[in-house]
Amino acid sequence: MRRVRSHLRMITVRLIGGLGNQMFQYALGRRLSLDRGVPLALDLGWFGRQAPQDTPREYELDCFTLDETVRKVRRDLPVPANWAQLALLRARETLRLAPRVVRQRGSGFDPEVLQAPAGALLLGFFQSERYFAPVADAIRADFTPIAPLSEEARRIQEEIVAGPSISVHVRRGDYVSNPHANRYHGTMGEEYYRRALERIGVEGARAFVFSDDPDWCRSGFALGIPTTVVDGGGRPPVEDLVLMSTCRHHVLANSSFSWWGAWLDPDPGVVVAPERWAQDESADFSDVYAEGWVRV
């Protein structure tokens, strides 16, 4: 019975997507583990069986300290693909041979998720500060990078703190190359970024542009203010998160990566996010915006 009882003494969250999405899923799971007084387990099973339309991803949270009690387990927990599999899983849950599955309803904040008991398996993206705001300090502590900044990143950080700075995130990558992602997310045009910078309106500010396509940003992306395109150059993505959070103000793309770049700033100035978070009009992202953020 040891295996049967083990999942009843923890909260398990299935990780899906890239670094920003994994951070949201971790944050929700961590909040519930603290509320229930049980450890948090990270289910990594999705990374071994991604759907053909999914952008290939890997587990990336090992760049952070996280809580020392967090476990990486449960690669074999199933996600039901049809009603027959769901009925079988429900029967196993009744017998306590499998955890109770709690799935986020829709893309907005689902308050019922916060009622998940110890022993639950959480499925969803959980892209809202409302899932973990009460434990924000613990989340920020968990997302402390393990490694110090590289010499190049420290040089850029010195430039950022030398004067008024604005982080500008331009998400392209799979939003352009993956038809499925392009239809759902779309990309933010240059007009959005100009209006966002006008809304911030800080005289003498420099924009630090972070992007998965820095060559595109350098070739045809005019913001109308002094601009530095930060090229990752093979550096770990967590360094860009640190550099973004060091900036005074923030302009987000419709991306969970820049969401965290702004949220990890403990004392942000003006944070501007796109009014329309997804191209798919059926998706409700009204809860994605943190308190005080400006929508343009």
Farthest CA pair distance, the chain? 66
pLDDT value at residue 3: 45
Collapse the DSSP code of 116 into the 3-class scheme (helix H, G, I; strand E, B; otherwise coil) and give the result: coil
Question: Buried b vs exposed e over 249-274: b needs ≥16 C-beta within 10 Å?
Answer: bbbbbbbbbbbbbbbbbeebebbbbb
Judge if 79 and 106 occupy the same domain. yes
Using 50, 70 and 90 to split pLDDT, how confident is the model at 180?
confident
Mean pLDDT, rounded, for 34-55: 90
Domain harbouring 246, CATH code: 3.40.50
CA distances from 286 to 7, 128, 180 (A): 33, 9, 22
State whether 94 and 132 are in the same domain: yes
Residues 10 and 134 in one domain: yes
Residues 137 and 172 grouped into a single domain: no
Question: Per-residue confidence at 84, pLDDT binned at 50, 70, 90?
Answer: low
Q: Are 127 and 6 in a shared domain?
A: yes
Q: What is the mean pLDDT of the chain?
A: 89
Residue count (the chain): 296
Residues 200 and 103 in one domain: no
Per the CB < 8 A criterion, the answer to whether 122 and 28 are in contact is yes
pLDDT over 70 for what percent of the chain? 89
Residue 274 tokens read as 């796109």
Specify the higher pLDDT residue, 172 or 238: 238
Q: Which of 82, 117, 142 is the last residue of a domain?
A: 142
Assess whether 27 and 97 both reside in one domain: yes
Closest CA to 26 of 70, 69, 56: 70
Q: Which of 3-12, 214-223, 266-275 has the lowest mean pLDDT?
A: 3-12
SS3 245: helix
Cβ within 8 Å of residue 47, ≥6 positions away? 15, 57, 58, 59
Q: Tell me the average pLDDT across 11-15.
A: 95
- Chosen domain end from 92, 107, 142: 142
Last residue of a domain, one of 96, 111, 142: 142
Residue 2: pLDDT band (50, 70, 90) is very low
Checking if the pLDDT of 80 tops 70, the result is no
Q: Pairing state of beta strands 71-73 and 40-43? A: parallel
Q: Give per-residue pLDDT as tens, 238-293.
A: 999 999 999 999 999 999 999 999 999 999 999 999 999 988 878 889 999 999 99
Tell me which residue of 226, 200, 227, 229 sits closest to 214, measured CA to CA.
229
Which tokens in the block code for residue 93? Answer: 């849950």
Which residues form the domain of 284? 151-295
**What are the φ and ψ backbone dihedral angles of 152, each rounded to 5 degrees?**
-65, -45
Q: How confident is the model at residue 220 (pLDDT cuts 50, 70, 90)?
A: confident
- Kindly state whether residues 220 and 135 are assigned to the same domain: no
Measure the N-to-C terminal CA separation of the chain; round to a whole number of Å. 55
pLDDT, greater one: 99 or 178: 178
Are 108 and 224 found together in one domain?
Answer: no
Identify whether residues 17 and 129 lie together within a single domain.
yes
Between the alpha carbon of residue 68 and those of residues 54, 113, 117, 236, the distances in Å are 31, 24, 22, 22
Residue 70 has pLDDT above 60, yes or no: yes
130 and 206 housed in the same domain: no
pLDDT in tens, 114-164: 999 999 999 999 999 999 999 999 999 999 999 999 999 999 999 999 999
Same domain (yes/no): 128, 201 = no
The Cα–Cα gap between 118 and 177 comes to 40
CA–CA dist 268, 27 (Å, integer): 20
Quote the pLDDT of residue 234: 82
- Number of domains composing the chain: 2
